[in-house]
Structure formats: structure tokens, C-alpha cells
Amino acid sequence: MPAEASRDHLSPETPDVAARSVLTYVYGFVALVLVGAAAMYAYYIFKVTGPLIANPRVFPQPHLQTAPHTDLQRLLAAQRKSLSTYSWADPAHQMLRIPIERAMQLIVARGEHALDPLVTPPATPTPGSRGADPR
């Protein structure tokens, strides 16, 4: 009983938060969301006339190669001809293309010097020398 008597004189604690202002903000936010949703629905009903998702377009097939097998055979024949006949590689520089079989025979005939450069580069002066300067 003494515990009940001590509870009677205690008053409830006053709230630190004003419930009215919190509820005003919450109701205002809900109203704003509803008004926004209604505006978007009205825009959708009155302004959107076509479908939301466009139908996928079917692109036509490319007409680059009508007969790929024939084109491949023609390419391989041109490459075989290029590798097996004599022709000008660059007429301006007087360079000739020779058959691959003949090129391999020439490389084998050179023996151990087969990988040496065809033209020797000019001698470079050593650092500190005047090179070709006669002074």
C-alpha cells in the first residue's frame, strides 16, 4: 500500500514533442504524395497517347555477302595466286613479289647468314667523336 500511495502523487510526464505539429507534417506529406500521384495519373491519362514500351524493331538482314562460301573461295584463290606468282609489289620502288617456294629456297641457300640484314646500316659515330665533321 505504501507503494500505491507514492504513485498517486506522481503526475504524468509532459511530452517533449508537440504531437499536433508532428501530425500536421505527416498529414501534409501524405497529402503532397497523393496530389503528386494524382497529377502523374492525370498527365498519363491526358498526355500519353502511344504505348509505353515500343515494339521491338526487326532489322533487315545485311546484304554484304550473298554467297559467303563463294566469296571465301575467291579470297583463298587470290591469296594462293599472290603467294605463287611473280608480280610487282611496289613498282615505284622497284620491289618484286616472288613465289613463296622460291623465297624459301633463297633463304635456305643463304645458310647461316639468312637472317642478316639485306643492307648494312651506315656506321654511327661513337659518342664524343665529331663523326664526319672535319674540324
- Gap between the Cα atoms of 68 and 89, Å rounded: 28
pTM: 0.37
Chain-centroid distance, C-alpha 22:
52
Which residues share a beta bridge with 96? 88
CA triple 21-27-30, angle to 5 deg: 145
**Sequential pLDDT tens for the chain (135 residues):** 555 556 656 767 766 778 888 999 999 999 999 999 999 999 988 888 777 788 888 888 777 778 889 999 999 999 999 999 998 888 787 888 899 999 999 889 988 888 888 777 777 777 776 655 555
- Gap between the Cα atoms of 95 and 98, Å rounded: 10
- Grid coordinates in use for 60? 533487315
- Gap between the Cα atoms of 106 and 83, Å rounded: 15
Q: Which residues contact 17 (CB under 8 A, 6 or more apart)?
A: none
3-state class of 120 per DSSP? coil
